[in-house]
């Protein structure tokens, strides 16, 4: 009881103090929350989300906020631990009264949080990271109830479909080999890739795996080659992908190699160096190569603030868009969490950094903003992740605004 009374006293005191600080007429700020890893191994994801959110909020506040009310970000470090994420979501919503959240860094965290958000907390969440399909396609989604979880990042099934379809339909490969990690993410990815190949009437010509202590992938690569694979699809992170390209280099193997977004950032080039040349990586957005002006502005602002390049641009860019999506709805429908949720399903067009959505960003039964059609396949080219585009002559990348280089479909080399 003393705790509560003490808390109440403190709150009253704080309110009084705020009252004297805030000039008459100014309104209480609108709170947006984030709970994700800000320390530990996954911190690079959380830090990018936080920084992307901050840049968007500061921009909006500089232009007068939302109907005169400022936005503030309240972030918590969940250390990538789902138990902490759940507790912090509760704390942010129930005590801090945030009206919207920008996801988390761990798929397991979002899977744990989703039912609580939908059943109890009822606050809209937009996820820039966390790609497990079931986060947005959750129980509420399946039962046709109000689903509070939205996503501007990758989602699992979509990415697998996109990887397979790109190689089969755009590059004309029919003999696809798989090389996946036996860890959690790799196992899910392997299943998804197998499913999509089957839906294309294909089966993997070789289905290889590796685990954490494989630093030399010679047996796997030779088996894939002997099976006649035209390309290898992979689910893994920077470390394992580096071992794969090192082994390929040792064996002088030039089979096209396609990875999911686990290596979508400069960390891969730093680790693998020139051996990474020609690797394809699927992602939602790349900040390398020629960029639209609004993205350039964001990239420059990031550099100005933090004096470094983005390490995982997808997350920062996604978080930035998440805030602007909230803003769009709040200006139109107000700041009630339920109204924001409903409003998100009704944004007919949106000019974001991830992309310019010329169709409704979300729909009642589609809470993934980035669909398979919007995903981007990139090619690692001299340290840059360049988007692959297509014209009548085939796939190409733009080295700079003037130089267009076509790709050899059989080995992904520049022509």
Partner 1 sequence: MYFFLQIATSGIATGAIYGLIAVGYSLTFMTTRVLNFALGMWVMLGGMLTYSLLVLHGIHPLIVLPMVITALFLLGLAAERFTVLPFLRAGSDVWVMSTLAVGLLMIDLAEIVWGRSPTPVPPVLGKEPIYLGQVSILPQQLIIIAAACIAFLALDLFYRRTLTGKAFRAVAYSGEVSGLMGINTRRLQAVSYAAAAALAGFAGFLVVPLTLAEPQLGTVLGLKAFAIAIIAGLAAPRGILVCGLGYGALEALISGYFYTGIRDILGFLLMILGLFLKPEGLFGRGVEERA
Which residues of the chain form contacts with partner 1 (CB under 8 A)?
A: 40-41, 44, 182, 208-216, 218-220, 222-223, 226, 238-239, 242, 246-247, 249-252, 267, 270-273, 275
Residue nearer to partner 1 on the CB measure, 249 or 372:
249
Which of 122, 239 has the CB closer to partner 1?
A: 239
- Closest approach of partner 1 to the CB of residue 188, in Å: 16
Rounded to the nearest 5°, which phi and psi values hold at 295?
Answer: -70, -40
Region of 378 on the Ramachandran plot (φ > 0 left; ψ -120 to 50 alpha; else beta): beta
- 316 vs 395, which CB is nearer to partner 1? 316
Helix, strand, coil in percent for the chain, rounding step 5: 45, 20, 35
In degrees rounded to 5, what are phi and psi of residue 169?
A: -85, -40
Q: What is the DSSP letter of 392?
A: T
- Tell me how far, at minimum, the Cβ of 270 lies from partner 1, in Å: 7
**CB neighbours of residue 198 within 10 Å:** 12
Which residues have C-beta within 8 Å of that of residue 390, sequence separation ≥ 6?
170, 396
| Number of neighbours of residue 251 by Cβ within 10 angstroms | 14
User: Is residue 190 within 8 Å of 209, Cβ to Cβ?
Assistant: yes
129 vs 344, beta carbon nearer partner 1: 129
Task: State how far the Cα of 380 lies from the Cα of 288, in Å rounded to an integer.
Answer: 10
In angstroms, what is the minimal distance from the CB of 251 to partner 1?
6
- Please, what is the minimum distance in Å from the beta carbon of residue 323 to partner 1? 27
Cα torsion angle, 382, 384, 390, 391, sign: negative
Least Å from the CB of residue 409 to partner 1: 27
Q: β-pairing, 376-381 with 280-283?
A: antiparallel
Q: How far is the CB of 5 from partner 1 (least distance, A)?
A: 40
Residue 109 or 242: the one with the smaller Cβ distance to partner 1 is 242
Q: Which residue, 226 or 403, is less far from partner 1 as judged by CB?
A: 226
Nearer to partner 1, 114 or 178 (CB): 178
Min dist. Cβ of residue 194 to partner 1 (A): 14
Q: What DSSP element (H or E) covers 305?
A: helix 293-306
């Amino acid at each position: 009881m003393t705790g509560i009374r003490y808390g109440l006293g403190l709150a009253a005191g704080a309110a009084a103090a705020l009252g004297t600080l805030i000039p008459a007429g100014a309104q209480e700020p609108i709170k947006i929350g984030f709970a994700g890893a800000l320390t530990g191994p996954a911190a690079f994801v959380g830090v990018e989300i936080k920084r992307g959110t901050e840049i968007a909020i500061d921009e909006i506040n500089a232009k007068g906020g939302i109907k005169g009310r400022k936005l503030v970000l309240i972030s918590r470090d969940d250390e990538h631990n789902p138990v902490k994420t759940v507790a912090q979501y509760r704390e942010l919503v129930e005590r801090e009264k945030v009206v919207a959240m920008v996801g988390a860094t761990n798929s397991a965290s979002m899977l744990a949080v989703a039912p609580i958000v939908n059943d109890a907390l009822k606050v809209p969440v937009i996820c820039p990271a966390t790609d497990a399909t079931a986060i947005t396609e959750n129980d509420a989604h399946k039962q046709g109830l109000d689903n509070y979880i939205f996503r501007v990042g990758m989602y699992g099934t979509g990415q697998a479909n996109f990887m397979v379809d790109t190689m089969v339909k755009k590059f004309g490969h029919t003999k696809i080999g798989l090389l996946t990690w036996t860890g959690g993410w790799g196992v899910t990815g392997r299943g998804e890739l197998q499913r999509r190949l089957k839906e294309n009437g294909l089966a993997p010509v070789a289905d290889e795996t590796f685990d954490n202590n494989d630093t030399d992938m010679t047996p796997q690569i030779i088996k894939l080659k002997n099976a006649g694979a035209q390309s290898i699809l992979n689910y893994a992170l920077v470390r394992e992908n580096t071992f794969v390209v090192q082994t390929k280099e040792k064996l002088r193997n030039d089979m096209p190699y396609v990875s999911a977004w686990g290596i979508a950032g400069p960390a891969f080039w730093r680790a693998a160096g020139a051996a990474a040349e020609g690797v394809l990586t699927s992602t939602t957005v790349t900040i390398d190569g020629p960029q639209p002006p609004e993205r350039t502005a964001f990239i420059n602002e990031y550099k100005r603030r933090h004096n470094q390049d983005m390490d995982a641009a997808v997350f920062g860019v996604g978080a930035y868009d998440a805030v602007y999506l909230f803003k769009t709805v709040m200006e139109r429908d107000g700041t009630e969490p339920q109204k924001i949720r409903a409003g998100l399903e009704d944004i007919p067009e949106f000019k974001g950094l991830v992309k310019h959505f010329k169709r409704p960003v979300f729909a009642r039964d589609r809470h993934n903003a980035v669909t398979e059609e919007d995903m981007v396949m990139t090619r690692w080219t001299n340290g840059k992740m360049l988007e692959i585009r297509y014209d009548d002559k085939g796939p190409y990348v733009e080295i700079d605004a003037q130089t267009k280089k076509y790709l050899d479909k059989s080995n992904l080399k520049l022509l």
